[in-house]
A = this chain, B = another copy of it.
Amino acid sequence: MGKLLIVGTVAFDAIETPFGKTDKILGGAATFIGLAASQFKVDSGLISVVGGDFPNEYLEMLADRNIDISGVEVIKEGKTFFWSGKYDYNLNTRETLATDLNVLADFNPVVPDNYMDCDFLMLGNLHPSVQMAVINQIPNRPKLVVLDTMNFWMDNTLDELMEVLPKIDVITINDEEARQLSGEYSLVKAAQKIHKMGPQYVVIKKGENGALLFNNGDVFFAPALPLEEIFDPTGAGDTFAGGFIGYLASTHDVSFENMKRAVIYGSNFASFCVERFGTERMIDLDQEEIQKRLGQFKQLTQFEIELTH
């Protein structure tokens, strides 16, 4: 079993979808990643920052799931990062209504002593300089470093992002971001170019259209499960990443074959995440449901065909 360190936001989200609306609820990349990874028996710790307004019960909920929260700094006089967004009827596009950085503006991540020897490092979507600051504190390179990022950092901090990429093993981005980062329309070519920027593994998330895993010529596709209810996509990408790295950390195996399974676990967890608002579904998820759905994932793409050449 590997030791997993997660850095990312812990936040309040206010979400509007065609199906409903929430006030401030628990959100943030590290929250979703941590909750997903905690489904596996893995020693995981969070690095994040919240304000004095952050309810203690949320931190306790995370701690109850064996997530080490000693790296979550609480700035009493500050306010917690707040994001608000509204999704179209087409849940793939969303409008950001508010991004109040608050305590995140001066986030100075500090790796706790007992995670200096982490085997798996998950860099959630954050300013690339913050991601770099975490990498630089860890004396020995972990077995696997996974980085999530987004178009905002490509637009505004591309140089800093390009400096981090050689130091990571896996990048997770969506299809439009892969095209933006590489300047290639074909995702095959995009992955080839991104490999050259550093990461040996490129995971391209396509939401309801599944996810692709590239590794220098090898490619694997995990479908998204067609769902009756798609309620709120917030956190699905982070949940995917948490399932992915959580599975890898729990099996301590970073072979391509095992990464395929990790991508399936990520897709599996993400399919639950979108069924309710925010973290709701991930919090009451159990192993029986997960295993049942894994069977559905297996069924979904399974076919027998005879090759004649």
Which B residue's beta carbon lies closest to that of A206? B209
**Per-position contact with B for A298-309: 1 when CB-CB < 8 Å, else 0?**
101101110111
Chain A, interface residues (CB within 8 Å), range: 35 or more
Q: Is the CB of B287 within 8 A of A308?
A: yes
Q: Is the CB of B300 within 8 A of A228?
A: no
The interface residues of chain B lying within 8 Å CB-to-CB of A288 are 309
Q: Tell me how far the C-beta of A248 lies from the nearest C-beta in chain B, rounded to whole angstroms.
A: 14
Q: Tell yes or no: A260 within 8 A of B by CB.
A: yes
Q: Is the CB of B188 within 8 A of A264?
A: no
Q: Is the CB of A294 within 8 A of B301?
A: no
Give Cα A186–Cα B300 distance, bound, in whole angstroms.
Answer: 17
Q: Is the CB of A301 within 8 A of B223?
A: yes
**Per-position contact with B for A179-201: 1 when CB-CB < 8 Å, else 0?**
00000011111000000000000
Q: Tell yes or no: A221 within 8 A of B by CB.
A: yes
A222-242 contacts to B, CB under 8 A, are 222-223, 226-230
The interface residues of chain B lying within 8 Å CB-to-CB of A264 are 303, 305
Give Cα A18–Cα B260 distance, bound, in whole angstroms.
Answer: 33
Q: Is the CB of B187 within 8 A of A226?
A: yes
Q: Is the CB of A210 within 8 A of B212?
A: no
A/B interface sample: 19 pairs, CB < 8 A: A89-B185, A91-B185, A185-B230, A186-B227, A186-B230, A188-B227, A188-B228, A209-B209, A210-B223, A220-B300, A220-B301, A221-B226, A221-B300, A261-B303, A261-B304, A288-B309, A292-B309, A298-B303, A298-B305
Chain A residues within 8 Å of B, Cβ to Cβ: 18, 89, 91, 185-189, 206, 209-210, 212, 219-223, 226-230, 257, 260-261, 264, 287-288, 291-292, 294-295, 298, 300-301, 303-305, 307-309
Knowing that A186-B226, A219-B226 touch, tell me 14 more A-B residue pairs with CB under 8 angstroms.
Answer: A18-B185, A89-B185, A188-B227, A219-B300, A220-B300, A221-B223, A261-B304, A264-B305, A287-B308, A287-B309, A294-B307, A298-B303, A298-B305, A301-B301
